[in-house]
Amino acid sequence: MIRFLSTLVLLTITIFAQAQPGVAPVKVIDGKNYYIHTVEPGNTLFGLQRMYDCPMEEIVKANSGELEGGLKVGQQVKIPVKSSSENSVTAEQKTSSYKIKGGETLYGISRKFGTTVDELIRLNPGVENGIQKGQVIVVPGESSEEEEEEDVVETTTTNPFVVEEDNNEAIEVVFQDSIVQHKVLQHETMYSISKRYMVSVEEIMEMNNLRSTNLSEGQVLKIAIKQERIEKVGIKEVPPAYDPNGSGELVFDRKKQYKIVVLAPFYLDYGTGYSEYVSNMATQFYMGAQMAIDTLRSKGLKAEVHFIDTKNDSTHVVKLLSGAEFKNVDVIIGPFFPKTQKIVANFCKENKIRMILPVTAPQNLLKDNRLVYSTVPSDVDLMLSTAKHLAEKEKGANIILIQVNKEKDKELYNAFKENYNAIAKSTGAPALRETTIENVKNLIVRGSKNIFVVPTNDKNTAMSFMNTLNKSAFRSSANDLVIYGTKDWMNFSDVNGIYREKFNFHFLSNTYLNYNDKYIIGVNRNFRKKYNTDLSRMAAQGYDIMLYTGETMLMERQTPHLIMNKFDFIQKGESGALINMSYFVLEQEEFELIDTQSVVNGER
């Protein structure tokens, strides 16, 4: 079974021969020998591993979960004793005699013979209390006056250590470097302090720039230790090989460097189908995305970002996909038009590449491709969200659904009705009332909040409803009349703006750009400094999508502060695309749009 670890810490440690402790009693438990170590202040699991020359996973396993949460002073820890065969290398170690010269220290001698102070103390009990000129001690290897100092060997090992258990869980040990300050007490020696904190004498001397092991009472030493966090983690099975036609959530590997490709119709060569309007929109998107890239780099993201001109040409896009720019791509943002979106979506599906759509996309593109992220929800999705919002937030209101006649509006009507009724059962929302435009006056309840849902994108239907409601408005206070339409209503010049104001017109939108917001003022100021123009909506879209892609999808951090969007992607079925189902509830107030949710939360 393969274990996936959420954290991998690289530790650089010094290799040195470990002495058998000799001070810890040995106890036979279930036929096996164990050292019984009593935890003292300063002890760590990392130190036990080094002191007893026993792999940490064996120590954790031997203590059956008793080490979760770390070591506790006075706790008795079982440490497996190596068999005689495992100790044979130490037993056969060659030694020789060495006569100490004037001014020499244990530390200097350890460096001279490529060993450690601990090993010298093991071979020469008592030398930890001091050495003298002319004293003869035992050293590893062969003694020679021509011996030269050797560098201490260093290696890199990986942590955490993982121990299998029978309950399909694992133990995860994560180390964190920490420095403690120790005030030397009377009678304490360098050796006793090194044993307390389970670090070598060499490390303490190097950390404190000491040339001698001699200490004085009250002296403060800096000591680097490894503090560990021990906890159980679930063992996950290896995910199956990627299947383009599979279903369910996909897992992506984290990388040191990523590759992002942005596809947009820049029309750099002014070729067939050139549109100045479209070219300008693509350029604005690029400007916002480039500004976000600057922010991401300052936060540590390493990524290649390629901006490529699609020209809105399907043949050109097909050729592009076979080029070097699309080797090892992690995310593709774009393109902007349906015919090229479909080509790229199929490419992403086959190659397990995430695709982010910055503009609306045809619904058939979203059915069976779990690599696609649609940032702009459809009108149907927004109507589903409208039903959810009213069923959860307006439990005391009189909710009236206006029937529509246009075929294209019936999908919106049915989406609202079915979702509202489904949610109302669990939220206790009032029953939905349905009526025609002509019969509106008969359903208005005086003294209650009357909310009219008019699911239409048809200008004439919207105008007809407004005029009819205006004639019946005397039946209730104007503050008790609220309309929920669609965002298209804001483009209907024939729908009287005064009526929208009078009847508290609301609609749900996936975007909201408030130029008066202090944060956006700051972003706009930087944008103006960089490009000598103000931030447009398309530039804001480029900024938000690129920032979200880098920080949330690739760096796996929390969603950053976006300027026009909120992203909450929900997968449509087991194999469908991920749709942004987040929204703003906007209201016309004093002929300006406000975000009513921010007002409720006190953010206005």
Residue pair 522/546 in contact (Cβ under 8 Å)? The answer is no
Are both 299 and 401 inside the same structural domain? no
Q: Is residue 133 part of a domain?
A: yes
What is the H or E stretch that residue 175 is in? strand 169-183
Instruction: Report helix angle 276-298 to 537-548, nearest 10.
Output: 40
Burial class from Cβ neighbours inside 10 Å (0-12, 13-18, 19+) for residue 584 reads buried
Are both 68 and 178 inside the same structural domain? yes
Letter for the amino acid at 179? Answer: I
What SS3 class is residue 583? coil
**pLDDT of amino acid 347:** 96
Q: Tell me: cis bond preceding 455? Omega within 30 of 0 counts.
A: no
Are both 496 and 522 inside the same structural domain? no
Are both 488 and 542 inside the same structural domain? no
pLDDT in tens, 530-578: 999 999 999 999 999 999 999 999 998 888 899 999 999 999 888 899 9
Q: Is residue 246 part of a domain?
A: no
Q: List, in sequence order, every residue forming a beta bridge with 571; answer none if it has no partner.
A: 578
**pLDDT of amino acid 109:** 82
Q: How far is CA 427 from the centre of its chain?
A: 32
> How far, CA to CA in Å, does 459 sit from each of 18, 379, 485, 491, 502?
84, 15, 11, 9, 18
Boundary (domain end) residue, out of 234, 249, 266: 234
> What are the b/e assignments for 345-358, b being 16+ CB within 10 Å?
bbbbbebebbbbbb
What HEC string does 52-99 produce? Answer: HCCCHHHHHHHCCCCCCCCCCCCCEEEEECCCCCCCHHHHCCCEEEEE
Are both 206 and 116 inside the same structural domain? no
Q: Tell me the backbone φ, ψ of residue 375, rounded to 5 degrees.
A: -80, -20
Residue pair 335/310 in contact (Cβ under 8 Å)? The answer is yes
- What would the two tokens of residue 426 be? 């669990």
Are both 274 and 230 inside the same structural domain? no
Give the largest CA-CA distance in the chain.
114
Phi-psi region of 34 (alpha: psi -120 to 50; beta: other; left: phi over 0): beta
Letter for the amino acid at 18? Answer: Q
Pick out the chain residues at pLDDT < 50. 1-20, 22, 85-91, 146-168, 599-604
**pLDDT of amino acid 598:** 64
Q: Is the pTM of this model over 0.85?
A: no
**pLDDT of amino acid 280:** 96
Q: Is residue 281 part of a domain?
A: yes
Are both 170 and 74 inside the same structural domain? yes
What SS3 class is residue 215? coil
* Listed residue (427, 435, 466, 429) closest to 449, CA to CA: 429
**Domain enclosing residue 107, as ranges:** 93-140
Are both 22 and 69 inside the same structural domain? yes
> How far, CA to CA in Å, does 272 sit from each of 169, 269, 275?
61, 9, 9
273-281's contacts with Cβ under 8 Å and 24+ in sequence apart are 273/311, 273/312, 273/313, 278/312, 278/336, 281/336, 281/538
What CATH number should be reported for the domain holding residue 408? 3.40.50.2300
DSSP alpha helices (H): ranges in 86-177? Answer: 88-91, 106-112, 117-123
Are both 354 and 414 inside the same structural domain? no
Instruction: Answer positive or negative: Cα dihedral of 299, 303, 304, 307.
Output: negative
Are both 435 and 409 inside the same structural domain? yes
What is the H or E stretch that residue 32 is in? strand 32-38
Q: How far is CA 485 from the centre of its chain?
A: 36
